[in-house]
Amino acid sequence: MTKIDIFDTTLRDGEQSAGINLNTGEKLEIAKQLERLGVTIIEAGFPASSPGDFEAVSRIATTVKNSTVTGLARAMQKDIDVTWEALKHAENPHIHVFLATSPIHMKYKLNKTPEEVIEASVAAVKYAKQFFPLVQWSAEDAFRSDKEFLVRIIDEVIKAGATTINVPDTVGYASPAEYGALFKYLIEEIPNSDLVKFSSHCHDDLGMAVANSIAAIENGARQVECTINGIGERAGNASLEEIGVALHIRNDIYQTETGLNLSEITRTSRLVSKLTGSPVQPNKAIVGKNAFAHESGIHQDGVLKNPETYEIITPELVGENKVPLVLGKHSGRHAFKERAIEMGFDLADDRLQNAFVAFKELADKKKEITEEDLLTLLTDETLEV
């Protein structure tokens, strides 16, 4: 089994979602739940960005013991100093320093030459290393960077003391095959690549963040950066729950171990949704309201005979309650009968048939058949035979 470290950035990149703003108490509550979920690293914030973020990162660093806590910093001494102040009492101090490496970012955003970007990155890593045993360096917009330039700069930051190298697809532009190939290339070409851990960090602009993260793992990444419910800048980050469950369910092909307590996933998702005010789309894999709901008659009949006909994941695996069969216009007699029995009505065949016909008529007119609707149908004396 290959160990994959789960680097959760819900409290940093996730909080960068438009409209999300968490206070220290809320961040602390989420961090404690992430610790229960068993994530390896919690990116608690960007301490130099605001006094509120500084306070939240310091509080989380002194409270959380079973996950490593980190903070983001630009490649400059003042950010590293502030981050050290916030993290110096952490069990296992870790810093995440980043600088952009793509031509477009270097020219228009940083106004630096590639040589200056190497120099600033090396200086930042060396400086951070005086305080932090664990220094992660990120090549922002790595996927759109020149590959040979990435080899050069990563080689230099490894020599400067970086312990983790993050290769983000900052704008969510990569395809799985391309992103995987980039990891393979870097790991093969960088002389001391075996001294560090390679990390993926994917955004979901083209809906490929989870697939790209998994492609990175297949090609040597040993850390994945992700967020609960996939929240994050623009279309969001790779979703932690989807990566964690995909690696578990398809362990036959991936052969990995994340250390996640999967039964905490639903609770964590609900907490993050509640505190961020960001609802989860109903059809979201793993944590959406409909993720385990079967509506059509053919599916319901199959699941009643053997859940494995249509369920590859049990709700229990992720700490979700067994979801009752949803009764709608596509539902069949088998599901209707089961639901009636669950509600305490063991009706004779003719009586059940009349109630089922009435149910179908009603289901054609309504979006959702409620418990009250069913009760009315099942107790309707005019449907007696």
How far is it, in rounded angstroms, from Cα 20 to Cα 276?
A: 6
Considering beta carbons, is residue 13 or 241 the nearer one to Zn ion?
13
How far is it, in rounded angstroms, from Cα 163 to Cα 94?
A: 10
Binding residue per annotation — 201? yes
Considering beta carbons, is residue 9 or 268 the nearer one to ligand KIV?
9
Considering beta carbons, is residue 13 or 79 the nearer one to Zn ion?
13
Tokens of 87: 């993290």
Residue pair 235/204 in contact by the 8 Å Cβ criterion? yes
Considering beta carbons, is residue 13 or 264 the nearer one to Zn ion?
13
Residue 140 near ligand KIV by CB under 6 A: yes
- Residue 140 interacts with which of ligand KIV, Zn ion, none, CB < 5 to 8 Å by class: ligand KIV
Residue pair 83/54 in contact by the 8 Å Cβ criterion? no
Considering beta carbons, is residue 13 or 53 the nearer one to Zn ion?
13
Cβ at position 341, least distance to ligand KIV in Å? 52
Which among 101-109, 166-174, 265-273, 345-353 is the span making contact with ligand KIV, rule CB under 6 A? 166-174
Binding residue per annotation — 237? yes
Binding residue per annotation — 79? no
Residue 170 near ligand KIV by CB under 6 A: yes
Which among 162-170, 281-289, 316-324, 372-380 is the span making contact with ligand KIV, rule CB under 6 A? 162-170
Beta bridge partners of 95: 71, 135
Q: Binding residues for ligand KIV, how many (CB under 6 A)?
A: 9
Query: 379 Cβ partners below 8 Å, 6+ apart?
Result: none
Beta bridge partners of 68: 41
Residue 79 near ligand KIV by CB under 6 A: no
**From candidates 7, 98, 149, 198, binder to ligand KIV by CB under 6 A:** 98
Binding residue per annotation — 212? no
CA nearest neighbour of 261 among 246, 241, 275: 241
Cβ at position 140, least distance to ligand KIV in Å? 4
Mark 200-219 with x for binding to ligand KIV (rule: CB under 6 A) and - for no binding. -x-x----------------
Residue 136 near ligand KIV by CB under 6 A: no
Q: Is the dihedral of CA 17, 18, 22, 26 positive or negative?
A: negative
User: For residue 383, what are the CA distances in angstroms to 160, 350, 355, 379?
Assistant: 81, 9, 6, 8
Residue 7 near ligand KIV by CB under 6 A: no
Cβ at position 200, least distance to Zn ion in Å? 11
Residue pair 245/32 in contact by the 8 Å Cβ criterion? no
Strands (E), the chain: 2-3, 5-8, 41-45, 68-74, 94-100, 134-140, 164-169, 197-202, 223-226, 256-257
Residue 68 near ligand KIV by CB under 6 A: no
Cβ at position 138, least distance to Zn ion in Å? 9
User: For residue 38, what are the CA distances in angstroms to 5, 8, 25, 34, 232?
Assistant: 10, 10, 20, 6, 21
CA torsion angle 20 24 27 31 (round to 10)? 160
Q: Which residues of the chain form contacts with ligand KIV (CB under 6 A)?
A: 13, 98, 138, 140, 166, 168, 170, 201, 203
Known binding residues are 13, 201, 203, 237
**Annotated binding residues for Mn(2+), as ranges?**
13, 201, 203, 237
